[in-house]
Amino acid sequence: MTAATTATRSGGPDSILGILDRSRIVAGPAYNRWLVPPAALAIHLCIGMAYGFSVFWLPLSRAVGGARPVACPAGSGTVNALFTTSCDWLISDLNWVFTLFIVVLGISAAVWGGWLERAGPRKAGVIAAICWSGGLLLGAVGIVTHQLWILWLGTGVLGGIGLGLGYISPVSTLIKWFPDRRGMATGMAIMGFGGGAMIGAPLAQMLMVYFSTPGGPAGAGSVAAGSIAAGSQGVWQTFVVMGLIYLVFMMAGAFGYRVPAPGWEPAGWRREANTKTMITHGQVHLKDAHKTAAFWCIWLVLCMNVSAGIGVISMASPMLQEIFGGSLIGHSDVSFTALTPEQRGAVAAIAAGFAGLLSLFNIGGRFFWASLSDHIGRKVTYFVFFVLGIAMYALAPWAAHAGSKMLFVGFFCVILSMYGGGFATVPAYLADLFGTQFVGAIHGRLLTAWSTAGVIGPVLVSYMREAAIAAGVPRSSVYDVTLYLLAGLLVIGLVANLLVRPVARKWFMSDAEVTALQVQAEAAADIPGSAAGGFSPASALAWAAVGIPILWGVWITLTKVAALFS
């Protein structure tokens, strides 16, 4: 036993931080591996709120003027907006928080992915919790002081670091616990990221309503919509409350992580049974993975799939409204631009149901497609994504002009299921090709494709829409060329996926190198984690803790979706 271990056990100076070490979370032989997915879900459901931050933009754009926002002087620009306290923020300036989320997520996952493999998922999860929750608390300070740069730095950058570490923290662990069901395991966890906004957005709305009542903070004043300043609409208080809630849930998830002992395999599982699905028996080191053609092919596969999907997500509500206009409320002869304010409100409510329906398919697709990939293989799964996606993007304008709302909505539900499925399947794809030793870190580097797509997709869709409107194209047709172009992006992804080949043996680590890494892990694993097998009150409680919020979010979403079909 090492001196460091003795000091830890005896309450020495490392005893507090020592509980975060990888050596403290190596599970015993009877540990129930089904306790790990809810721990991962607890973290992903929290950081997934990044997709729901648009609920804050409207109230924050009225922080100074309330019902009558105070515009900044013409030509003052973004630099002035970062520091001004005398005029309101533009929604376009606030939306940079989301851009920072995605960009910093990819960078932090790439930079610290290798460290995560050494430090273990618990330490990474704890730091992710501190960064994500701390970003919200610092963002609350920026709202109170009306300093946009603090909101960007706190929520966008610090929160983005928490996103990156939290997103990749369970990947390697789950793949090692479920070598027989890699896709399903990562699908369960990453499903949580898609569902985070489904839970967090309505929760944020409820909290903002609560804190903006007369019994709320001093100076709240009237509670009528738009009649009070955003500072009294409960936005900063909501940031604080949600930050603390997320801290508790993410800490619980981080401390719930366990890693299997080196060489552990499920009872009765035979690795040879998976040879037909292009699963390697070698291990590629982190420092070599990006030198292979396979890595960059998969990078392009993920980037194109995400660019197309995230472009639709960013414009889902206005796209449905502009294409179908009055036909959404039974007035097929009324175009979008001719709608009355009351009609626009009704159409917007239906479009909100469309966005909610896409969210459900995004979530469900992460589990469905990733689980299916365990049976048909990752390469075949992505082939299906691209072939179906190309056909549906190309046919969507036809469905729109034919006036078939059900077909149009159906196309995009399937498209968004494959968007989510692409995220959930790619960690298993990497493990198949590069082995499991460094898959978390390799996945972290691959997420730079997400950062790139987070810029390409929304910018492409929004700018092409504006160009079409400026050219006088009718609102019902402004998305036609854009959808064809998104189909073209998927063609690129299809070609890249077809080019994926098994990694050449020259990139595999030697048996001696792999053994040395496993010996280091075994030497550190002298404090095994607690063991538990089968059903237990602990497993029931863990799944209930994440399952109940998910069911609540699904119910809230379904009530909104009902308006789409009423």
- We report the CATH number of the domain holding residue 308 as 1.20.1250.20
Give a yes or no: residue 312 inside a domain. Answer: yes
What is the model's pLDDT at position 226? 35
Name the residue range of residue 140's domain: 18-264+537-566
* pLDDT score recorded for residue 79: 80
pLDDT on residue 160 = 95
Same domain (yes/no): 250, 196: yes
Beta-bridge mates of residue 26: 259
Residues 477, 553, single domain; the answer is no
- Does residue 79 fall inside a structural domain? yes
Pull the structure tokens for residue 185.
């395991």
Asked if residue 557 and residue 460 are part of one domain, the reply reads no
**Amino acid occupying residue 333:** D
Among residues 192, 117, 109, the alpha carbon closest in space to that of 434 is found at 117
Same domain, yes or no: 304 and 173: no
Check whether residue 473 and residue 560 sit in a common domain.
no
Give the 3-state secondary structure of residue 259. strand
Helices (H), ranges, 77-146: 77-83, 91-94, 96-119, 121-145
Task: Express the helix, strand and coil content of the chain in percent, nearest 5 each.
Answer: 75, 0, 25
* pLDDT at residue 489 in the model: 94
Residues 488, 542, single domain; the answer is no
**pLDDT score of 197:** 86
Q: Do residues 363 and 478 share a domain?
A: yes
Same domain? For 297 and 422 the reply is yes
Q: Look at residues 242, 290, 218, 221 and name the one whose alpha carbon lies nearest to residue 446.
A: 290
Q: How far is CA 221 from the centre of its chain?
A: 37
Same domain for 376 and 429? yes
Report yes or no on 512 lying in a domain.
Answer: no
Q: How far is residue 97's CA from residue 149's CA, in Å, rounded to a whole number?
A: 10
The three-state secondary structure class of 284 is strand
- Assign residue 377 a region (left: φ > 0; alpha: ψ between -120 and 50; beta: otherwise): left
Distance CA 221, CA 181 (A): 55
Domain count of the fold of the chain: 2
Q: Name residue 475's amino acid.
A: R
178: Cβ contacts below 8 Å, ≥ 6 apart: 33, 184, 185, 266
The answer on 474 and 558 residing in a single domain is no
Phi and psi angles of residue 508, each rounded to the nearest 5 degrees, phi first: -75, 145
- Domain for residue 507, yes or no? no
Counting beta carbons within 10 angstroms of the beta carbon of residue 541, is it exposed (0 to 12), middle (13 to 18) or buried (19 or more)?
exposed
Asked whether residue 232 is assigned to any structural domain, the reply reads yes
Based on the fold, state whether residues 170 and 302 are members of the same structural domain: no
Whether residue 59 lies inside any domain: the answer is: yes
pLDDT in the model for residue 124: 94
Evaluate whether residue 508 is within a structural domain: no
Domain match, 214 and 319 both: no
Does residue 287 lie in a domain region? no
Q: Please report, in tens digits, the pLDDT of each residue of the chain (566 residues total).
A: 333 344 344 344 445 667 888 888 888 877 888 899 999 999 999 999 998 888 888 788 877 766 667 777 777 777 877 888 778 888 778 888 888 898 899 999 999 998 998 889 999 999 999 999 999 999 999 999 989 999 999 999 999 999 999 999 988 889 888 888 888 888 888 888 888 888 998 899 889 888 875 433 333 333 333 333 434 678 899 999 999 999 999 999 999 999 988 778 787 776 654 444 567 778 999 999 999 999 999 999 999 999 998 888 877 777 888 888 888 888 877 787 788 878 877 877 787 778 778 888 999 999 999 999 999 999 999 999 999 999 999 999 999 988 888 899 999 999 999 999 999 999 999 999 999 889 889 999 999 999 899 888 887 887 888 788 888 888 788 888 889 999 999 999 999 999 999 999 999 988 888 777 765 554 444 444 334 445 567 788 889 999 999 999 999 888 877 777 76
